[in-house]
Amino acid sequence: MILLTGGCGFIGSAFLLQWLSHTDEPVVNLDLLTYAGNPANLASIQDDPRYHFVQGDIADSKVVASLLARYRPRAVLHFAAESHVDRSISGPLAFAETNVVGTLKLLDAALAYWRTLESPAAAAFRFLHVSTDEVYGSLGPDAAGFTEANRYEPNSPYSASKAASDHFVRAYRHTYGLPTLTTNCSNNYGPRQFPEKLIPLMIHNALHAKPMPVYGDGQQIRDWLHVDDHCHALRAVLDRGRVGESYNIGGRSELSNMAVVEAICRNLDILRPRAGGQPHASLIAHVGDRPGHDRRYAIDDSKISGELGWNPSIAFDEGVRQTVQWYLDHEDWVQSIVSGAYRRSAQRNYSASTEFVARAVA
């Protein structure tokens, strides 16, 4: 049994779907179902006896402790996080509360649980913390990619909150001996990503003939990692990663934001041509740049490749084509997000889970 936090979000749900397609090991998903948590992401496994969902907050120590005591997991995989840079700029406090305080409380509960385990269960236990390459700051155009030895230089409230959480994970390993692992990934993309992020936002706007807003000159460079490749890497780290270590996970696909948007337009021109025949690229609109916008991220993934044998397998050209096709095939999913229907449905359908938590704590 493993316990996963934030499993109804983009990366967490992708991991759960992949996990249950590769193993029979049960999993408990603890998710508060804030705006980006969508149970519909996991509709295909909601009746699977190996899958257990609990609506709850990682910062609620009693809830977490009750789940650890009830299910006795061999690992905690921590995906839950506030993750959108723009939102962190307009409201940084929520990022500190979830990403820093929430992680700290989760670590505390995991430590207390781990201390109750006997050998060999204690030696086998893992706390896997999923983080971001943004903690390293911005790279110059010709600089080498981030390695695990790079100093932390976060430049946004989001990346600062994730950097703080990384430091707490490290501290719990060195101070208390908790068997931790940390991963720092580059920009993820793929199916079921919340439409505020670059790729799904551009697809949605293009399909509705709305402007496709690109910050500044659009030459900010990111390394793009398909979410399925990311999940394979996380499984490798959980299985074979060295306790106390960090592993950078990249897609080996450095592209400017403008190049990504143009790739989306090319695919839409083929897969869903506009009625008037105009290219989708005519919808691209440059807007004022984001405050403190990092210019370039790049990942050196030689550590995870050399130690664990993981390498990305999905080239960006193929991955983005598949992603565009997925959104074309699932416009109802996007519409439920835009309309807010997914949140109303979650509030109706998961009240029983909330009642379970109340009983468990009592």
Q: What is the pLDDT of residues 285-320, one digit of tens each?
A: 999 999 999 999 999 999 999 999 999 999 999 999
Sequence-separated (6 or more) residues with CB below 8 Å from residue 302: 147
Q: Tell me the average pLDDT across 179-205.
A: 96
Residue 232 scores a pLDDT above 90: yes
CA angle at residue 37 from 98 to 19, to 5 degrees? 100
Asked about 158 being catalytic, the answer comes back as: yes
| pLDDT above 90 (res 249) | yes
Nearest residue to 271 via CA among 321, 314, 315: 321
- Active-site hit among 60, 134, 166, 262: 134
Taking 60 as the threshold, does the pLDDT of residue 361 lie above it?
no
What's the token pair of residue 136?
Answer: 């390293």
Please compute the mean of the pLDDT values over residues 127-142 and round it to a whole number: 97
Q: Give the pair of three-digit tokens for residue 174.
A: 């060195």
Q: What is the pLDDT of residues 101-122, one digit of tens each?
A: 999 999 999 999 999 999 999 9
Specify whether 332 is catalytic: no
What is the distance between the alpha carbons of residues 16 and 14, in angstroms, rounded to a whole number?
A: 6
Q: Which DSSP string do the residues of 279-324 spell out, in sequence order?
A: -GGGGEEEEPPPTT---B--B--HHHHHHH-------HHHHHHHHH
Where exactly are the structural domains of the chain? 2-189+227-251+298-315+340-361
Neighbours of 115 (CB within 10 A): 11
Q: For 4, which DSSP code? A: E
Is the CB of residue 235 less than 8 Å from the CB of residue 130?
A: no
Please state, in angstroms and rounded to a whole number, the distance separating the CA atoms of residues 166 and 168: 5
pLDDT exceeds 60 at position 350: no
Tell me the pLDDT band of 356, cut-offs 50, 70 and 90.
very low
Percent of the chain's residues with pLDDT above 70:
94
Q: How are the residues of the chain apportioned to helix, strand and coil, as percentages rounded to the nearest 5?
A: 50, 15, 35
Instruction: For residue 146, give the DSSP letter.
Output: B
Q: Are strands 212-215 and 2-5 parallel, antiparallel or unpaired?
A: unpaired
Pick the CATH number of 2-189+227-251+298-315+340-361 from 3.40.50.720, 1.10.10.60, 3.30.70.260, 3.90.1150.10: 3.40.50.720
Q: What is the mean pLDDT of the chain?
A: 93
pLDDT band at 348 (very low <50, low <70, confident <90, very high): low
Q: What is the pLDDT of residues 9-18, one digit of tens each?
A: 999 999 999 9
pLDDT band of residue 229 (cuts 50, 70, 90) is very high
Distances (CA, A) of 24 to 1, 2, 56, 103: 9, 11, 24, 28
For the chain, the straight-line distance linking the first and the last C-alpha, in angstroms and rounded, comes to 23
CA triplet 32, 131, 188: central angle to 5 degrees?
Answer: 90
Position 66 scores a pLDDT of 98
E strands, the chain, are 2-5, 27-31, 51-55, 75-78, 126-132, 180-185, 187-189, 212-215, 221-226, 246-249, 254-256, 284-287
CA neighbor of 324 nearest in space, from 256, 185, 219, 226: 226
Which pLDDT does position 283 carry in this prediction? 98
Q: Bridge-partner residues for 52, per DSSP?
A: 28
Average pLDDT value for residue range 70-84: 96
Catalytic annotation, pick one of 31, 57, 82, 133: 133
Give percent of the chain with pLDDT exceeding 90. 88
Annotated catalytic residue within 51, 113, 136, 158? 158
Residue pLDDT, tens place only, 18-63: 999 999 999 999 999 988 899 999 999 999 999 999 999 999 999 9
